[in-house]
Chains A and B, each alone.
Chain A
Amino acid sequence: MRIVVCVKEVLDPDAVNNYALAGRLEIGEDGKSLTQTTIPRLMNGFDEQALEAALRLRDAGAECRIGVVSVGSDPATILKHAAALGADEIAAVMMEEPSPDYHVVATLLSSYLSTSGGADIILCGRQASDDDQGVVPALICEALGIPLVTNARAVELMQAAGETALRITRVTPDGDEVVEVSCPAVVTVSNELGEPRYPTAAKKIAARRMKPEIVTAESLSLSAEKLRPRVVALRQFVPTVSGNCEFVDGETPAELASALIARLRQESVIS
């Protein structure tokens, strides 16, 4: 059985947040990218958890090869991180543009998947923490004509009578839902899956020698027409939040509390 995990390199969202919270997030001269060069680049957190889900399936006894693929201009670093965590094969789909269109990324990924021997389980993150779109897995499932299960917190394998299926616990607004789906399927993983593991030092060293397979649009025989973007980023900006906070007065916690409740009643926010 082959499991393929799709991973994206993103700017560390916590670092981006810290700049934003301090009011120091800035856009560069190109009008598109963040200027802060000190923000580390890393594997999208949900993708790390998608890889963790794959590793847990293997730990639970699934006989599988785990492949990890990333589309980007320089995905080698996160792919080596994936190898250190236990990926058996790593593939870099080269894409020059800094922020390729989601449709293009999904076309590259689904084409890679179908030309590299297919996959029984395709694991993705629920969304990328830079664009928050959560559309690439859906576009892959439609391109391959297979089902999509989103927001998994647990993924289990069920094998019976030569059939492979998955039992997935999904996080939904109404609580957890348990579903079953036959493979092949695309599954997206949510943060509720829990902490991903850390690579050991020995595995990190071993992973340094692992070279990603280099894949290009040409090697996938994809025409320019197929790779024509549909949603092109023109510019990025930092929105301003116009604050008009009224700070409640008081010397003691009790005074502050009763002043707040009084204001809320006055404004009919509460009764």
Chain B
Amino acid sequence: MTEAKPVVVCTWSESQGEFPVGAEEALTLGRKVANALGTRLHWLVLGTLPETGMETAGRFGADGVDQIEDAALEAFSADVYLNALAGYCRQESPMLVVFSQSVETRLVAPRLAGRLEAGVLMNGVDIVAGDDGGLQATASAYGGDTQVVYELSGAACYVFALAANALQAEPAEGGPTQPGCRSISSDLGGVEDRIRVVEEARTEGPRLEDADVIVSGGRGLGGPENYGLIERLAEALGGLAGASRPLVDEGWVDSSQQVGLTGKITRPALYLAAGISGASQHMAGCSAAKTIVAINKDPDAAIFRYARFGIVGDCLEILPELIQAAKQ
């Protein structure tokens, strides 16, 4: 009997030494699919395994941890990472490779699919296995205005990226497993990225992705002169200032401040949105926040559907008072 092909969850740390963002959610989904299909779940880690890695792997029910450690993987390079991954997949023949969606996996996952002749789906929300062993996957479309259910059939392997806010991480039922850890060798010495970086990106200060508190402003601010209110409230709450896309398009703020589908994907404890309508493309970047607070003059604004707390009113009047109250 041939052994069922494994489900593989693939992660790496995007900032050195940190636990890979979204790994627990991806493992949760991987475990579910592997259970439904009666196959193994492997967690493939590129680069250094996080300190608590083995414990996490057990808690989320991985049957094995595979690690590719190589000096070439220390800093992200699409071509090098892709080579390592494609080599691994050719050897292990997974039926499904799950990534947690990020800017880096957005680059690597579809190219991996191209290289392996696999099927691919990004912005994934869920995968369910039918009784016949077939897979159906759901992904968001129109920024999240709709979701589409796809049948995955016709390819030997699928690559799937799980969106940031798609599901809650849940430890495996039936207690932790005792996965083994394999060190996979990979010959990456000769691989060079065909893209030469001539000027590195330089983050000016802390990043929205890592912020615990974010205060964002939208078109409801009326004009660039009012964006200072957002910055001052962010400062008073010890957080960072973000924005919706029109503010970037109009040049009020830098593009590094854009939250949303095509901007930053954030996961703060508190996300306060002032003068933002709540378009799905904006919410794609903040709906993973623990608590959303909305200030909008329109009581029917969509943002209130996502918010835990809301104020109906003019943000230009309310923001100055909030700055005061936050300082007290």
A interface vs B, CB < 8 Å? 13, 16-17, 19-21, 25, 27, 34, 102-103, 106, 126-127, 129-135, 138-139, 141-143, 147-150, 153, 167, 170-182, 190-192, 228-239, 241-248, 253-254, 256-258, 260-261, 263-264, 267, 269-270
Contacts and interface: CB of A to CB of B under 8 A. Distances in A.
Given A174-B203, A177-B197, A179-B195, A234 B142 contact: no
A233 B153 CA distance: 11
Contacts of B182: none
Given A241-B306, A245-B308, A135 B142 contact: no
A162 B202 CA distance: 33
A193 B78 CA distance: 23
A182 B193 CA distance: 12
Interface in B257-282: 261-262, 264, 269-270, 277-281
Interface residues of B, number: 92
Interface string B305-326: 1111111111001101110111
B149 to A, nearest CB: 5
A108 to B, nearest CB: 14
Interface stretch (B39-47, B56-64, B105-113): B105-113
B207 A174 contact: yes
Given A147-B194, A236-B141, A269 B270 contact: yes
B196 interface: yes
22 contacts: A17-B279, A21-B277, A25-B145, A130-B141, A133-B122, A134-B110, A138-B114, A139-B120, A142-B115, A148-B78, A173-B103, A173-B201, A179-B195, A179-B196, A191-B248, A230-B155, A231-B121, A232-B154, A243-B305, A253-B321, A254-B325, A257-B318
A171 B256 CA distance: 8
A134 B107 CA distance: 9
User: Which residue, of B78, B122, B237, B324, has the highest number of chain A Cβ atoms within 10 A?
Assistant: B122
A132 B163 CA distance: 12
A190 B263 CA distance: 10
Contacts of A178: 197-199
Contact of B154 (A138, A229, A258): A229
Contact of B311 (A179, A228, A231, A248): A248
A264 B309 contact: yes
Contacts of A17: 142-143, 145, 279-281
Given A230-B154, A261-B325, A173 B310 contact: no
A62 B274 CA distance: 45
A13 B142 CA distance: 7
B119 interface: yes
Contacts of A34: 146
A141 B325 contact: no
Given A129-B143, A130-B141, A247-B309, 19 more contacts: A13-B281, A21-B302, A132-B140, A139-B120, A148-B111, A173-B264, A177-B199, A178-B198, A191-B245, A231-B137, A232-B154, A236-B141, A236-B146, A257-B311, A257-B318, A260-B293, A260-B325, A264-B270, A270-B326
Contacts of A127: 262
B255 A243 contact: no
A232 B122 CA distance: 14
Contacts of A241: 302, 305-306
Interface in B202-259: 202-204, 207, 209, 213, 237, 245, 248-249, 255-256
A139 B116 CA distance: 11
Given A173-B207, A247-B311, A253 B318 contact: yes
A99 to B, nearest CB: 8
A236 B195 contact: no
Contacts of A143: 114
Contacts of A254: 321, 324-325
A263 B309 contact: yes
B291 interface: yes
B207 A245 contact: no
A207 B147 CA distance: 37
A228 B256 CA distance: 40
B212 to A, nearest CB: 10
Most buried by A among B136, B158, B311: B311
Given A21-B277, A142-B111, A191-B245, A177 B142 contact: no
Nearest to B145: A20
A131 B321 CA distance: 41
A180 B196 contact: yes
B142 A243 contact: no
A231 B149 CA distance: 10
Contact of A150 (B106, B207, B291, B313): B106
Contacts of B115: 142
Contact of A134 (B106, B148, B326): B106
Nearest to A194: B249
Nearest to B287: A241
A129 B281 CA distance: 10
A134 B141 CA distance: 12
B142 A132 contact: yes
Contact of A236 (B148, B264, B306, B325): B148
Contacts of B200: 177
B198 A179 contact: yes
A127 B142 CA distance: 11
A65 B199 CA distance: 30
Nearest to A140: B114
